[in-house]
């Protein structure tokens, strides 16, 4: 049986999802929606659809009877409204990050999928990047002992151009540390296996987009930051973000250190480096996942994520990544922005009820 997919939002990431679904066995994009004519045309071409399977309004797609599952890839600020309608429809869904731009909206959606009969999947594909997935596997296998320190560096290019440049303003994205960095906060939570209790950050907009203006407004998204997250186990994690470092050899570098050793991952070169405190020489191992049929924009991670999502639909399994995990990653980003704005450490209990901590 082929699972029929709808894609809501056919900008850059929507097209990326279509291409990944096209490469999957047992999956087919049968409908798309986007309120903008240009992206809608790109989506129709990528999916090879007839006009009657192309919609302006996502609600018409949901009512069409053409889909078993949907991917939500619309702009961040639309997620709460769109996902509310998706949840009401009862279909399986995978939503792009961040879950929402505010903690309150993310809590609402997380509560609404409690007991949901479909697969409600949070799209956090960095977990699936082969080198990062191997690092996580090494940590879980005890190669470092108990993870005590996690360091994540992302040195990359500025934000890409989006439709109407909606991603230039915090009110639309939730802020850089929500929009972009929820991926890394999710990885910190996953690697430590612990509950975040406190966040402290320093950041600013120093270089990017300062010469741009939209309706008389200059973009307000920060382009560099350090963020420290403390956990209930005593572990701590740090993010080093720079978005004017496009000449970097590796966009992401991750390091996890425990009492017996260290493991590192490097992306996109895709290798891990392991070292032990007992004096053994370190080793470097190239990592490749032979299951990847489409590498796309994220080193094959979106394809691997879609494999798991499709498997959960076909086999009736629970989601591998939950909306609750998406909520916590958003809350850490919001806490980091509050820390920068108010120049203080922020307790996670200020943002999340105890049931989520």
pTM for the model stands at 0.97
Segment 341-355, tens digit of pLDDT: 999 999 999 999 999
Q: How far apart are CA 20 and CA 299, in angstroms?
A: 12
Segment 53-92, tens digit of pLDDT: 999 999 999 999 999 999 999 999 999 999 999 999 999 9
Residue 192 scores a pLDDT above 90: yes
As given in the structure block, the two tokens for residue 118 are: 């479909």
Annotate 235-248 with DSSP letters as a single string. -EEEEEEESS-TT-
Q: For residue 77, give the nearest of 215, 176, 170, 186 by alpha carbon.
A: 170
Residue 163 scores a pLDDT above 90: no
Sequence ranges of the domains in the chain? 3-123, 126-294+322-356
Q: What's the average model confidence in pLDDT over 215-235?
A: 97
The gap from C-alpha 337 to its chain's centroid, in whole angstroms, comes to 18
Percent of the chain with pLDDT over 70: 100
Q: How far apart are CA 309 and CA 26, in angstroms?
A: 12
Q: Give the fold, CATH level 3, of 126-294+322-356.
A: Dihydrodipicolinate Reductase; domain 2 (3.30.360)
Q: How far apart are CA 13 and CA 75, in angstroms?
A: 10
The band of 164, judged by pLDDT with boundaries at 50, 70 and 90, is: confident
Residue 1 scores a pLDDT above 90: no
Segment 269-283, tens digit of pLDDT: 999 999 999 988 889
Residues in the chain: 357
Q: What CATH number matches the domain at 3-123, 1.20.120.80, 3.30.70.20, 3.30.1330.10, 3.40.50.720?
A: 3.40.50.720
Q: How far apart are CA 145 and CA 223, in angstroms?
A: 34
As given in the structure block, the two tokens for residue 102 are: 């505010």
Segment 262-318, tens digit of pLDDT: 999 999 999 999 999 998 888 999 999 999 999 999 999 999 999 999 999 999 999
Segment 9-42, tens digit of pLDDT: 999 999 999 999 999 999 999 999 999 999 999 9
Q: For residue 46, give the nearest of 20, 73, 26, 68 by alpha carbon.
A: 20
Q: What is the pLDDT of residue 23?
A: 98
β-pair partners for 54: 32
Residue 243 scores a pLDDT above 90: yes
Question: How confident is the prediction for the chain on average, in pLDDT?
Answer: 97
Q: What is the pLDDT of residue 299?
A: 95
| Domains 3-123 and 126-294+322-356 agree in fold | no
As given in the structure block, the two tokens for residue 281 are: 């020489």
């Amino acid at each position: 049986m082929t699972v029929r997919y709808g894609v809501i939002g056919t900008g850059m990431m929507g097209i990326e999802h279509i291409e990944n679904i096209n490469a999957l066995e047992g999956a087919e994009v049968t409908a798309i929606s986007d309120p903008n004519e240009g992206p809608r045309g790109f989506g129709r071409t990528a999916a090879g659809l007839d006009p009657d399977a192309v919609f302006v309004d996502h609600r018409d797609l949901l009512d069409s009877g053409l889909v078993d599952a949907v991917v939500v890839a619309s702009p961040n600020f639309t997620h709460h409204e769109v996902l509310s309608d998706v949840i009401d429809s009862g279909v399986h869904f995978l939503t792009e990050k961040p879950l929402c731009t505010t903690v309150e909206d993310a809590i609402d959606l997380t509560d609404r999928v409690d007991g949901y009969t479909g697969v409600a999947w949070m799209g956090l594909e960095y977990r699936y990047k082969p080198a990062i997935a191997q690092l996580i596997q090494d940590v879980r296998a005890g190669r470092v002992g108990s993870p005590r320190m996690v360091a994540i560096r992302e040195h990359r290019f500025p934000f890409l151009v989006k439709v109407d440049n909606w991603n230039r303003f915090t009110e639309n994205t939730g802020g850089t540390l929500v929009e972009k960095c929820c991926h890394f906060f999710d990885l910190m939570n996953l690697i430590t296996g612990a509950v975040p209790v406190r966040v402290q950050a320093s950041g600013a907009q120093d270089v990017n987009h300062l010469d741009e203006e939209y309706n008389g407004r200059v973009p307000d998204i920060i382009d560099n930051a350090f963020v420290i997250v403390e956990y209930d186990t005593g572990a701590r994690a740090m993010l080093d973000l720079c978005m004017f470092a496009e000449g970097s050899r590796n966009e992401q570098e991750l390091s996890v250190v425990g009492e017996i050793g260290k493991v590192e991952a490097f992306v996109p070169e895709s290798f891990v480096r392991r070292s032990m405190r007992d004096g053994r020489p370190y080793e470097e191992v190239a990592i490749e996942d032979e299951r990847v049929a489409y590498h796309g924009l994220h080193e094959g991670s979106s394809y691997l994520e879609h494999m798991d999502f499709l498997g959960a639909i076909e086999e009736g399994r629970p989601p591998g990544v939950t909306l609750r995990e998406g909520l916590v990653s958003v809350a850490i980003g919001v806490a980091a922005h509050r820390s920068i704005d108010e120049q203080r450490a922020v307790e996670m209990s200020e943002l999340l009820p105890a049931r989520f901590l």
